[in-house]
């Protein structure tokens, strides 16, 4: 059994951003020598995500805008508040990114694909995205291949 | 190590529909000869999903209706619009299914279960669903078994 | 290849509650003898979930409150109703937890992490939670380690 884990560094440049990681996933699988197995992709951060969707720029904008609608950084005036937006002893500062953690939960933090004959089995429209909700930051995405 | 990948063809008959794939998952596991391992299920399409929930018809209707409420095909009049609803060079037509891609992200595109003694370890209420957001279409669901 | 599956019993004490399972996951991995591989975590129940987020009590409250906002137990007066809230032959009672099944779908039912050198590879803020939407109940969480 072959097991290869690569930690890919990603630098987000905006507060919220979708970064296409598909080429990285393909590269790690090709380098692993795995013919048949799976590849797993995961973010190492709780205000970011990993998800699978179609790779067009207009849809990237829709995904970011819609997750902000569903889990806003600031709740609409006069509605609700976030408990996390208070002084946190553990951080020595006021928490501010509750909405970004919530986006991370809604959009998901990981994905996987089968590998067959050395190739990632991916639908023709499917792309793998790292999604930043709380940037810009230096981030780590885990890509792991398991197989034979 | 045994690794078996089956591509199951699914024909959705409605615009939005939940199709119970549990028997397919059980069948692929039984045919694989795997005693202990995992089974992974994934859709190959970005306007559809795979998810786990209870298998009753009234709940299927609630899941479809609620995802449409959270990520509507047409946003409520006078609120927001989708960037994806414009002419797409890559498709040669106007994008129309932004809301369906968003549903796919919210509901998820894959699931997995442990396999023990040749049987899928599944809670008594848990069923595996393929969920169509943009049908009717011919779809492919990947079911992969890995183990020994 | 080593494959170990442990069924961890969890007793929720509230209607909705987040229970940190990170120590259980670490314990099962350590006991498995796996040096390199993956650990998979999954709930066995369709009105509960498993998810990854930061481990602070104020955020736990936000996650629970926000999922209740997105998929309420009772829809706002005069809006929509749940089909599941009717007499269910299969249960011999009226369904009441449609909103909790919907929360389970939105928040997710499973997660996984790589294992490297016998240790779970987890971001510094990432914790693994079992999340109860419909308690208090006795629940089972599956933790499976696969590797070598």
Instruction: Enter the tokens of residue B126.
Output: 């848990």
> C23 φ, ψ to 5°?
-65, -35
DSSP-assigned states of every residue in C70-120: HS-SS--TTS---TTSSEETTTTEE---HHHHHHHHHH-SEEEEEEETTEE
Check CB contact of B121 with chain C, cutoff 8 Å.
yes
As a whole-number percent, the residues of chain C with pLDDT over 70 amount to 100
Helices within B71-116 (DSSP H only): 98-107
The three-state DSSP-derived secondary structure of A30-65 is HHHCCCCEEEEEEECCCCEEEEEEECCHHHHHHHHH
Taking only residues 9 to 28 of chain C, the set having a beta carbon closer than 8 angstroms to any beta carbon of chain B reads: none
The three-state DSSP-derived secondary structure of chain A is CEEEEEEEEEECCCCCEEEECHHHHHHHHHHHCCCCEEEEEEECCCCEEEEEEECCHHHHHHHHHHHHHHCCCCCCCCCCCCCCCCEECCCCEECCCHHHHHHHHHHCCEEEEEEECCEECCCCCEEEEEEECCCCCEEEEEEEEEEC
Alpha-carbon separation of residue A72 from A68, B94, C76, C117 (angstroms): 5, 29, 20, 39
pLDDT above 90: residue B85 = no
Nearest CA in chain B to C91: B56
pLDDT above 80: residue B90 = no
Closest CB to C46: pick one of B58, B65, B123: B123
Residues of A in contact with B42 (CB under 8 A): 112-114
Chains adjacent to A (≥3 CB pairs closer than 8 angstroms): B, C
Q: What pLDDT does B94 receive? A: 75
What is the mean pLDDT of the segment spanning B58-63? 96
> Which of C120, C124, C110, C123 minimizes the C-alpha distance to C147?
C120
Residues of A in contact with B40 (CB under 8 A): 38, 112, 114
Contact call for B105 and A38, based on CB within 8 A:
no
Check CB contact of C53 with chain A, cutoff 8 Å.
yes
Handedness of CA B12, B18, A122, B84 (dihedral sign): positive
> Which of B129, B133, B124, B62 minimizes the C-alpha distance to B97?
B133
pLDDT above 80: residue B87 = no
What is the mean pLDDT of the segment spanning B97-117? 98
Residues of C in contact with B1 (CB under 8 A): 1
Residues of A in contact with C123 (CB under 8 A): 43-46, 140
Are C145 and C30 in contact, with CB atoms under 8 Å apart? no
Query: In the β-sheet with B17-20, what is the strand arrangement from edge to edge?
Result: B17-20, B126-132, B48-54
Neighbours of C9 (CB within 10 A): 8
Check CB contact of A62 with chain B, cutoff 8 Å.
yes
Residues of chain C with pLDDT under 70: none
Are C122 and C116 in contact, with CB atoms under 8 Å apart? no
pLDDT band at B128 (very low <50, low <70, confident <90, very high): very high
Check CB contact of B72 with chain A, cutoff 8 Å.
no
d(CA A148, CA A125): 27
Closest CB to C83: pick one of B62, B121, B122: B62
Q: Mind telling me how many Å the CA of A87 is from chain B's nearest CA? A: 31
Are B48 and B139 in contact, with CB atoms under 8 Å apart? yes
Instruction: Enter the tokens of residue B99.
Output: 């809301």
d(CA C60, CA B50): 26
d(CA C8, CA C27): 11
**pLDDT (tens digit, 9 = 90+) per residue, A5-27?**
999 999 999 999 999 999 999 99
Check CB contact of A109 with chain B, cutoff 8 Å.
no
> Which of B34, B58, B27 minimizes the C-alpha distance to B128?
B27
> Which of A147, B5, B38, B116 minimizes the C-alpha distance to C148?
A147
pLDDT band at A91 (very low <50, low <70, confident <90, very high): confident
E strand or H helix that includes residue C22: helix C22-32
**pLDDT (tens digit, 9 = 90+) per residue, B9-58?**
999 999 999 999 999 999 999 999 999 999 999 999 999 999 999 999 99
d(CA C34, CA C147): 6
> Which of A50, A101, A94 minimizes the C-alpha distance to A71?
A101
d(CA A102, CA A106): 6
Instruction: Enter the tokens of residue B147.
Output: 């183990």
Helices within B1-148 (DSSP H only): 22-32, 57-70, 98-107
ipTM attached to this prediction:
0.95
pLDDT above 80: residue A89 = no
CA diameter of chain A: 56
């Amino acid at each position: 059994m072959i097991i290869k884990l690569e930690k890919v560094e990603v630098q987000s440049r905006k507060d919220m951003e979708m970064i296409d990681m598909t080429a990285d996933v393909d590269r790690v699988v090709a380098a692993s020598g795995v013919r048949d197995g799976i590849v797993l992709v995961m973010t190492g951060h709780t205000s970011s995500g990993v998800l699978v969707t179609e790779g067009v720029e207009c849809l990237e904008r829709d995904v970011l805008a819609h997750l902000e609608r569903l889990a806003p950084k600031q709740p609409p005036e006069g509605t609700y508040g976030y408990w996390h937006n208070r002084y946190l002893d553990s951080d020595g500062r006021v928490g501010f990114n509750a909405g970004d953690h919530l986006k991370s939960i809604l959009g998901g933090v990981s994905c996987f694909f089968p590998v067959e004959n050395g190739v990632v089995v991916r639908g023709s429209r499917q792309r793998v995205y790292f999604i930043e909700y709380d940037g810009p930051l230096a981030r780590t995405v885990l890509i792991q291949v398991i197989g034979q």
